[in-house]
Every structure is written in C-alpha cells, then in structure tokens.
C-alpha cells in the first residue's frame, strides 16, 4: 500500500493552549493511534468566539480569515472542543455570507473540520481505545458539541471500550453548566449559580471523576466543585481515552513541570 496517511491539522483551542496543554497532547496521541499524521500550525490562536459572541463582527471575521488561512491543505482539522469546532463548522460560513469567495473557503474548511471524538469515531472508524481507566466516571454533554454537532453517543462508545471504567450517567447531562464564554465573567453571579447546580448533580452521581469534551465547561465545573468542597476529579475526556489521566486533574495541586508527558 502506498496510500499516504490522513493529515490532520490540530486546532489546539486557546483554552487548551493556555490552561491545559495535556489535553492537546492527549488529542495528538489519540489521532496518531488512529493512524493520522498530525501537525500543529503555528499561526493559530483562537477561533474567535470571544469576539463573535460579544458582537464584535469585524474582529471575529478577521480571526476567522486567519484560521481559514492557517488550516489550508490538511485533509482534516480537528479540535478537542465541540464549541470551537462548532464555531468553524457552523458560524464561519455565516460570517462570510456576503463574500462569495471567502464563503466558499469557509464552507470548504467547515466540511473537513471535526470535534476530536466525533472525528475519531465517525471519520477514522475508531470503536475502541488501547488504554484503560480504573474508576467510576460521569459525563457532561457540552452544549455546542451536543446541540450544534450532535455529539452524544460517540464519547460514550469509546469510554465503554475501557474495561475498568464504569460510566454513571449524569441526570441533566444535557443542561448547560453555566460557562458560556464571556458570560461566565460578565454575568458571574448567574453563571456561578448554574455551575453550583451542575456541581450538585455531579456529586449526586457518586462518580469519582467527571468528564466532558470542552475545556471551558471543565474549568467551570472544576471551579464550582472545588468551591463547594467536592473531591471529584475533573478531566477532559481525551485525557482518559488517551491514557493520560495519571497527572494532576484540573484544579489539583501540581509539581508537574512537564504537562502532557504522563
């Protein structure tokens, strides 16, 4: 066979870049396990949602233009986030509705952009992962992934392939955790209350780890669980699937100078 491997441009996402590089390395490991050749374009920063959702169309459009340029040429673009992938897939084309050439480029990028777990299962046909995880986990369905991209069964399918993992379903798993990007800061009091309710539901499952596919939601849930004094661990689903869940969880003390190695 001379077929070249599938090339993937990893859209790291700004939150993973800044807060939790481990998730990026976990995504790379999973993509490579699936047989992809992964590259990380240096010209990327963020998908532009902070501007887009604040009404700053001009900056959102300029950032979208940069992202479209940065990810030319890859077979696929994959992000460990339903929110950022949803932005590229659904909202970039809308940003360029009045610019036919850019709209075509945005549509083309949208067509090959995927959220990580959806990509692994739907495009690469992954049905199981090689790692295992010993523990009882619960799973929160992040809003954009769930409602914009239809991500629901895909992560559960891969988690089910880990023999020592038990999934305890979270009642209200489809209810927002209250993050909402800049909403979490601009309307902090309302956002915190929604997060507190989510934390309560999470604790009630009796799971020892909560997982989700979006770092924004994870930071929010981890922050609320920790403020409420709950001892649950919070991780991105990719960390568990990639077998990289041995380091400190989100919001845990760390002496780890080398994130994403373990």
Partner 1 sequence: MQVTSQAFKANAHKALGDDNLKTALFKLQHHFTNNRTRAVEALPEFERLRDRARDIKNEVLGALDFYLERFEQKVAEQGGTVHWCRTPRQARETILSLCRSVEAKTCTKGKSMIAEEIALNPFLEENGVQPIETDLGEYIIQLADEPPSHIIGPAVHKTLPQVADLFLEHHKRYGKTERQTEPEALVGEAREILRQKYLDADVGITGANFLVAETGSTIIVTNEGNGDLTQMLPKMHIVVASIEKIVPTLEDLSTILRVLARSATGQEFSVYTTLSTGARQSADLDGPGAFHVVLLDNGRSEMIGTELQELLRCIRCGACMNSCPVYHAVGGHAYGWVYPGPIGAALDPKFIGLEAGQHLPNASPLCGKCESVCPMRIPLPKIFRYWRDKAFEEKITPLPQRAGIGVWAWFARRPELYRLASRLGIGVLGRLGRKAGKFRSLPLASGWTEGRDLPAPEGRTFHDLWQERRGRRGPPKSGDPFRKLFS
The interface with partner 1 within residues 89-118 (CB under 8 A) comprises: 101-102, 104-105, 108
Q: Which of 11, 30, 31, 52 binds partner 1 (CB under 8 A)?
A: 52
- Pick between residue 128 and residue 186 the one whose CB is nearest to partner 1: 186
Residue 19 is a binding residue for partner 1 (CB under 8 A): yes
- State the nearest-atom distance from the C-beta of 201 to partner 1, in Å: 12
What is the DSSP-derived secondary structure letter of residue 208? S
CA–CA gap between residue 238 and residue 241 (Å, rounded): 5
CB-nearer residue toward partner 1: 107 or 132? 107
Choose between 162 and 245: whose C-beta lies nearer to partner 1. Answer: 245
Alpha-carbon span 63 to 78, nearest angstrom: 17
Q: What is the largest CA-CA distance in the chain?
A: 58
Q: Is 6 in the site for partner 1 (CB under 8 A)?
A: no
In degrees, rounded to 5, the angle at the alpha carbon of residue 240 between the alpha carbons of residues 258 and 45 is: 55
Site for partner 1 in 58-87 (CB under 8 A): 59, 62-63, 66, 68-69, 71-75
Site size for partner 1 (CB under 8 A): 91
Does 148 bind partner 1 (CB under 8 A)? Our answer is yes
Q: Which of residues 185-224 bind partner 1 (CB under 8 A)?
A: 185-197, 219-220, 222-224
Q: Nearest distance from residue 14's CB to partner 1, in Å? A: 8
Q: For partner 1, give the closer residue by CB, 164 or 189.
A: 189
Provide the residue count of the chain.
Answer: 262
Distance of closest approach, residue 131 Cβ to partner 1, in angstroms: 20
Q: Is 135 in the site for partner 1 (CB under 8 A)?
A: no
Q: Work out whether 174 is an interface residue with partner 1 (CB under 8 A).
A: yes
- Nearest partner of 183 among 171, 192, 196, judged by Cα: 192
Provide the token pair at 158: 């891969």
How far, in Å, CA of 49 to CA of 13, rounded?
11
In 10 A of CB 69, how many CB atoms? Answer: 13
Contacting residue, 1, 3, 43, 98, with partner 1 by CB under 8 A: 43
3-state secondary structure of 131: coil
**How far is Cα 191 from Cα 207, in angstroms, rounded to an integer?**
23
**Judged by CB, which is closer to partner 1: 207, or 250?**
250
Give dist(CA 141, CA 79) in Å, integer: 16
Beta strands 135-139 and 209-212, pairing class? parallel
Pick one of 31, 34, 36, 51: the residue that binds partner 1 (CB under 8 A). Answer: 51
Tokens standing for residue 43: 């010209």
CA distance 183 to 49: 12
Minimum CB distance to partner 1, residue 134 (Å): 22
CB closer to partner 1 out of 17 and 122: 17
């Amino acid at each position: 066979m001379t077929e070249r491997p599938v090339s993937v441009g990893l859209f790291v996402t700004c939150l993973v870049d800044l807060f939790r590089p481990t998730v990026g390395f976990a995504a790379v490991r999973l993509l490579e396990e699936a047989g992809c050749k992964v590259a990380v374009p240096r010209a990327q920063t963020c998908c532009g949602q902070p501007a887009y959702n604040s009404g700053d169309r001009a900056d959102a459009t300029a950032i979208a233009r940069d992202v479209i340029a940065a990810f030319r040429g890859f077979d696929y673009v994959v992000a460990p986030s339903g929110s950022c992938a949803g932005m590229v897939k659904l909202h970039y084309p809308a940003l360029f509705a009045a610019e036919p050439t850019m709209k075509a480029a945005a549509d083309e990028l949208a067509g090959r952009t995927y959220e990580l777990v959806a990509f692994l299962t739907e495009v690469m046909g992954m049905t199981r992962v090689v790692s295992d995880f010993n523990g009882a986990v619960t799973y929160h369905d992040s809003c954009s992934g769930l409602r914009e991209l239809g991500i629901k069964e895909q992560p559960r399918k891969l988690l089910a392939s880990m023999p020592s993992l038990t999934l305890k379903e979270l009642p209200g798993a489809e209810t927002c955790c209250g993050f909402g990007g800049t909403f979490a800061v601009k309307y902090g009091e309302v956002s915190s209350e929604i997060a507190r309710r989510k934390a309560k539901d999470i604790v009630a499952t009796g799971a020892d780890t909560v997982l989700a596919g979006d770092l924004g939601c994870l930071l929010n849930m981890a922050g609320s669980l920790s403020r409420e004094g709950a001892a649950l661990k919070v991780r991105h689903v990719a960390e568990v699937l990639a077998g990289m869940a041995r380091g400190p969880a989100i919001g845990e003390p760390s002496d780890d100078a080398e994130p994403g190695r373990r």
